[in-house]
């Protein structure tokens, strides 16, 4: 009885095994590639993300770009470089990269003595802002006080102009029809003139007095709008150079403060309200020492408010309350152990 040899099928060496690139490695490669897109040191990466599915990868980075720069061109260069570089180094297919511009940073200028003249502390300013280090709070680099830009008030001006043009056009049409065409005056104009003659302010009737008061208040309101800059929701920022003005929306400042405080350990909920002259931060503490949490929240909020680069930073008020589930932390073991030893010694004494 003869047995046939069993043929073993072997896999070619080139097809054996599989190479897997971890998402962490892809993320770090994407972050490194973003810093190489522009000149050295101009792009800074604060956060990156990567998702790998088979032979495809999706990457995203949050960057800080130099100012001044054309944001769409700089962002496109960073996006294309991150996608191409990541695909070349990992061997994965990267169709596109997502780039989020979080901050702008003023480029450092080289002075006459060969020293770099930039911001004093190298702080990062939010998107759309200009960094500066003025001599005093509220003063720009040109020496003048930083003020809000004047609002054009297009909607209000358009409504008033349209209403005035309509009323004037109606009266003009009636006057021209009377004098040019010989037609009798319109009934509404005769009634209006008669009513104004009998219900004037000197007659003592309340409709005339109310109408006069309304016209007076309207004139005062228009004067206030003409003499004030408007844009009360915007806070002026310190200018980096003469002729440059920048503002920051109060809602953006509130979001920055809220995100900075929410990252602290033990903080569960944060409410921030930013006004023209004051900023109020309310936080809830779930665990940890209450006094230490108050100091940490105050310091973090002050740092975030200073990083906004406002010409006149609002006064900061911090309030930290303990949540219903909060319990006072137990004393350290180092303090409990001596107390226990002392009580033991007292019990052993005769």
Look up the pTM and report it. 0.43
101-114 tens-digit pLDDT: 888 888 765 443 33
Residue carrying the six token digits 């400042």: 253
* Predicted pLDDT of residue 261: 87
DSSP conformation class of 310: B
The reply to whether omega before 291 is within 30° of 0 (cis) is no
d(CA 26, CA 51): 8
Q: What average pLDDT does the structure give for the chain?
A: 75
Q: How confident is the model at residue 127 (pLDDT cuts 50, 70, 90)?
A: very low
* Predicted pLDDT of residue 94: 92
d(CA 203, CA 201): 5
Contact of 26 with 52, CB cutoff 8 Å: yes
Q: How confident is the model at residue 193 (pLDDT cuts 50, 70, 90)?
A: confident
* Predicted pLDDT of residue 114: 34
DSSP result, 119-169: -SS---EETT------SSTTB-TTSSBP-PPPP--HHHHHHHHHHHHHHHH
């Amino acid at each position: 009885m003869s047995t046939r040899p069993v043929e073993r099928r072997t896999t070619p060496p080139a097809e054996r095994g599989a190479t897997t690139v971890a998402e962490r490695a892809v993320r770090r490669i994407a972050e490194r590639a973003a810093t190489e897109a522009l000149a050295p040191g101009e792009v800074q990466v604060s956060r990156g993300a990567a998702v790998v599915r088979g032979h495809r990868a999706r990457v995203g980075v949050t960057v800080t770009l130099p100012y001044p720069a054309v944001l769409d061109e700089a962002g496109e260069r960073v996006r294309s470089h991150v996608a191409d570089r990541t695909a070349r180094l990992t061997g994965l297919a990267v169709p596109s990269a997502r780039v989020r511009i979080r901050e702008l940073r003023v480029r450092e200028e080289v002075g006459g003595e060969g020293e770099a003249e930039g911001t004093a502390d190298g702080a990062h300013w939010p998107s759309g802002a200009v960094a500066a280090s003025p001599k005093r709070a509220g003063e720009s680099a040109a020496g003048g006080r930083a003020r809000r830009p004047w609002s054009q008030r297009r909607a209000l001006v358009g409504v008033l102009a349209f209403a005035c043009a309509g009323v004037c056009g109606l009266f003009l049409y009636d006057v021209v029809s009377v004098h040019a065409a010989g037609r009798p005056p319109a009934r509404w104009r005769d009634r209006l003139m008669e009513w104004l003659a009998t219900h004037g302010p000197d007659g003592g009737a309340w409709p005339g007095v109310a109408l006069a008061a309304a016209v007076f208040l309207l004139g005062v309101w228009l004067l206030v709008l003409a003499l004030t800059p408007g844009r009360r929701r915007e806070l002026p920022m310190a200018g980096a150079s003469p002729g440059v003005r920048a503002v920051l929306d109060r809602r953006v400042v509130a979001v920055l403060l809220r995100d900075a405080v929410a990252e602290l350990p033990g903080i569960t909920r944060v409410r921030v309200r930013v006004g023209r002259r004051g900023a109020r931060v309310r936080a809830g503490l779930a665990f940890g020492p209450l006094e230490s949490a108050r100091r940490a929240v105050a310091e973090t909020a002050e740092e975030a408010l200073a990083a906004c680069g406002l010409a006149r930073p609002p006064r900061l008020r911090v309030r930290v309350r303990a949540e219903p589930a909060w319990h006072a932390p137990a004393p350290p073991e180092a303090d409990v152990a001596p107390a226990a030893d002392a009580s033991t010694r007292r019990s052993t004494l005769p």
